[in-house]
Amino acid sequence: MPAPKIPPVVVDVERLNEPFRAKAKALLASISEHRLPMMVFETLRPLERQAWLHAKGYSRAAGPNGPHPWGLAMDVILDPKSTEWKEIGDRPIGVGGGGANWDTGYNPTAGGLVLARPGVAHVVRTFGELIKAQGLEWGGVNVGAWADGRKGSEFGWDPFHVQMNGWRLWRAHLPPPS
C-alpha cells in the first residue's frame, strides 16, 4: 500500500492576506534585524492540508476554523543551520527528564517546553517581544512531532505559531479559503 500523500507546505508570505501580510513581513524584518536564527515554516494553509493535519491530530482546527486557511497566520521555527544559530551559545544547562535534545534546547519529557540553552531562551523572549510590537498574537509553541512526520529536532524546533490579532473578525472581509 502506498504511503498517504502529505499535502504540501506553503511558505510564501505573499500568499498571506492583508493586513496580516504587512505585519508578518515587518515581523520577519525585525527577526532579521535582531539576528534571530529563525525561518518561516508555513504560511497559508489550503483546506486540504488543514483537513489532513486535523485528521492526524496535529491541528485542533477543522476545516476553515483556524487562521491558517484564511491567510492570517504563519509558523516560524528556529533554524540551527543559520549563521546566527552559532552565536546563541553552545553550552547546555541541565534540565530534568530524559530524551532532551541539547542541540535545540527542547526536552519532550519534562512536561512541555524546556529551554536548555540560554541563547535559545533569549531568542524566544525576543521573538515574543517582536510579536507584541507588531500587534500580533503568539499562539504558542506547538509541541510534538512535525505535522509531516519529521521530528522537531530535524529543523531545531516545532513551529512558533503567529496569528493576526482578532483574526476571526478579519476573516469576514475575506473570500472563503480553498
**Which residue bears the cell 491567510?**
71
Give the pLDDT of residue 80.
Answer: 74
Separation of first and last alpha carbons in the chain? 29
For 2, 81, 96, the CA distances from 40, given in Å and listed in that order, are 30, 13, 30
* pLDDT per residue as tens digits for the range 136-175: 998 755 434 344 444 443 333 345 889 999 999 999 999 9
Give the pLDDT of residue 91.
Answer: 41
CA atoms in the 13 A half-sphere facing the CB of 66: 25
Give the pLDDT of residue 124.
Answer: 76
Residue 101: pLDDT over 70: no
Q: Highest mean pLDDT: which of 36-40, 81-85, 95-99, 115-119?
A: 36-40
Q: Highest mean pLDDT: which of 72-76, 119-123, 150-154?
A: 72-76
Number of residues assigned to the chain: 178
* pLDDT per residue as tens digits for the range 41-54: 999 999 999 999 88
Give the pLDDT of residue 133.
Answer: 94
d(CA 106, CA 112): 8
d(CA 52, CA 79): 25
